[in-house]
């Protein structure tokens, strides 16, 4: 009785484990060619999400080269399929860069350029920790030059399908009257860059914080 049970138990695991082994086919067989084709096809599919250690190492080397030790020790690079029209994002607090997997379908050069573009954002925050930085202001441009991409554009021109998002929140500068629209409500005070530059040396000034204004200002928005 025990012998029959053991044989049955052994047969079950033999079928479970040994059955998939035909994947290891002899070279030149039809099955082998099919599996190679599937592997090649899978290799062309961009990663959905997850860390990219190779890009992290490369980014950290660049950070060390331009004198940003915190980034050189803590930089994280991830791919995320949540990015649709954006090539990449920089997260200064987390010292993290998020990249759009569709970059892999374009070129390695585009991956490199986007990595350095986002790295410049993080490096600018490390270099100027007590300064209110404009997203693509002079501090960012200086870091781009140090990273070997002088004249880098603030926006990419990659063939990503773009969505037109409706701006529902509008703000006005109490000093110059500049109006801006936002898709999402501002989570923290934001000041008019032109007024801060003109009257406070480019530093953040609470006198020029944007204040909410009526939606009809969208017709007058100059941003």
Q: Which residues contact 190 (CB under 8 A, 6 or more apart)?
A: 171, 209, 210
Q: Which residues contact 45 (CB under 8 A, 6 or more apart)?
A: none
Residues 2-55: pLDDT tens digits? 445 444 544 544 443 333 333 333 444 444 454 444 344 434 445 567 999 999
In terms of domains, do 139 and 70 share one?
yes
In terms of domains, do 128 and 199 share one?
no
Residue 191 lies in a domain: yes
Say which CATH number the domain at 55 has: 3.30.2010.10
Helices (H) and strands (E) in the chain, counts: 7, 7
For residues 218 and 175, the answer to whether their CB atoms sit within 8 Å is: no
Domain range for 180 is: 169-220
CA distance 209 to 192: 6
**Residue 42 is encoded by which pair of tokens?**
């899978």
Residue 196 lies in a domain: yes
pLDDT top residue among 80 and 38: 80
- The answer to whether the pTM exceeds 0.75 is no
From 111, 146, 181, the end of a domain falls on 146
Q: What total of structural domains would you count in the chain?
A: 2
Residue 213 lies in a domain: yes
In terms of domains, do 58 and 140 share one?
yes
Residues 126-151: pLDDT tens digits? 999 988 888 899 999 999 999 999 99
Name the packing angle between helices 108-127 and 53-65 (round to 10°): 50
């Amino acid at each position: 009785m025990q012998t029959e049970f053991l044989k049955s138990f052994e047969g079950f695991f033999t079928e479970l484990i040994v059955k998939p082994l035909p994947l290891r086919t002899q070279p030149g067989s039809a099955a082998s060619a099919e599996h190679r084709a599937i592997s090649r096809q899978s290799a062309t599919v961009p990663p959905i999400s997850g860390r990219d250690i190779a890009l992290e190492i490369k980014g950290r080397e660049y950070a060390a080269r331009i004198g940003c030790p915190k980034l050189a020790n803590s930089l994280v690079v991830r791919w995320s399929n949540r990015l649709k029209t954006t090539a990449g994002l920089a997260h200064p607090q987390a010292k993290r860069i998020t990249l759009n997997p569709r970059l892999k379908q374009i070129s390695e050069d585009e991956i490199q350029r986007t990595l350095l573009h986002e790295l410049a954002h993080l490096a600018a925050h490390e270099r100027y920790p007590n300064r209110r930085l404009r997203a693509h202001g002079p501090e960012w441009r200086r870091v781009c030059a140090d990273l070997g991409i002088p004249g880098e554009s603030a926006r990419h021109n990659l063939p990503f399908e773009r969505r037109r998002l409706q701006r529902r929140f509008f703000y006005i500068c109490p000093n110059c009257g500049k109006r801006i629209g936002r898709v999402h409500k501002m989570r923290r005070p934001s000041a008019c860059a032109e007024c801060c530059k003109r009257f406070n040396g480019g530093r953040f000034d609470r006198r020029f914080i944007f204040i909410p204004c009526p939606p009809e200002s969208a017709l007058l928005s100059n941003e």
